[in-house]
Amino acid sequence: MSHGDKMEALPAGWDTLAHSANAPIAACADPDRRRFGVQFHPEVVHTPQGSTILANFLFKVCQAKADWTMENFVERECARIREQVGAAGVVCGLSGGVDSTVTAALVHRAVGDQLTCIFVDNGVLRRDEAQRVMRFLHDAFHFGSRWSTPEPGFWSASPGSKTRSRNGGSSAPRSSRSSKGGAATRGDQLPGAGTLYPDVIESVSFKGPSATIKSHHNVGGSRIACT
């Protein structure tokens, strides 16, 4: 419907299951090997039977079990964070965006007052946005946040096209680790950071020919407490 590319032929063993005016092979299958493919997007809301297609594939073809819940995820992640953090403190750079806010909420649920959030007013936000973000974070999550402004030289150290990565590096919290077997002890400060996975694959080419088209301040660097 919204793509110009299309399949015109199938390899041996594959059958056409559906077609449209501009896609001669809209859905196909190799039933002997239990392989299926679609040219359209079953996950979008304007595909009338999209949810049924996905459910049939997951539960009838793949025999998956519907036993995952968001509550299970939160409990598992909080337990993992508590184990990793131990008695240490966690410093989280908090912008009010989805990535850092979800991370801060999970860490706070896991370790409570061991978390310190730092909001950096970098001078490029919208009018009164910094105040609104701080008020929202305090009212919604009730964890303590510190308001910080960049140190002198913050902008002068960020000329040209490298502004994003240099700013991120200069404002990222520094951490210290215990030398006793890598275990965290009271007084240590671990950096907490969170990012959407597309930011990772666009910033670091782990394998394959993927291009590093972005440079995110919260991807890479020292080991972090949670993601």
pLDDT band at residue 32 using 50, 70 and 90 as cut-offs: very high
* Cα–Cα dist 20/59, whole Å: 26
CA-based nearest residue to 78, from 47, 113, 106, 49: 106
Render pLDDT for 167-199 as a digit per residue (tens, 0 to 9).
444 444 433 333 233 344 445 788 887 776 666
Map out the domains of the chain as residue ranges: 15-61, 70-203
Distant-in-sequence contacts of 165-170, Cβ < 8 A, 24+ apart: 165/215, 165/216, 165/217, 167/122, 167/217, 168/216, 168/217, 168/218, 169/217, 169/221
Q: Is 207 or 182 the better-scoring residue by pLDDT? A: 207
The pLDDT value recorded for residue 62 is 93
Q: Is the pLDDT of residue 94 over 90?
A: no
Q: Is 20 or 17 the better-scoring residue by pLDDT? A: 17
Render pLDDT for 52-85 as a digit per residue (tens, 0 to 9).
999 999 999 999 998 888 888 899 999 999 999 9
Tell me the pLDDT of the chain averaged across its residues. Answer: 76
Q: Is the pLDDT of residue 215 over 80?
A: no
* Cα–Cα dist 221/227, whole Å: 13
* Cα–Cα dist 158/188, whole Å: 29
Q: Which of 3-17, 45-59, 143-157, 180-194 has the lowest mean pLDDT?
A: 180-194
Is the pTM here over 0.85, yes or no? no
Q: Is 156 or 51 the better-scoring residue by pLDDT? A: 51
70-203 CATH fold: Rossmann fold (3.40.50)
CA-based nearest residue to 154, from 137, 142, 172, 136: 172
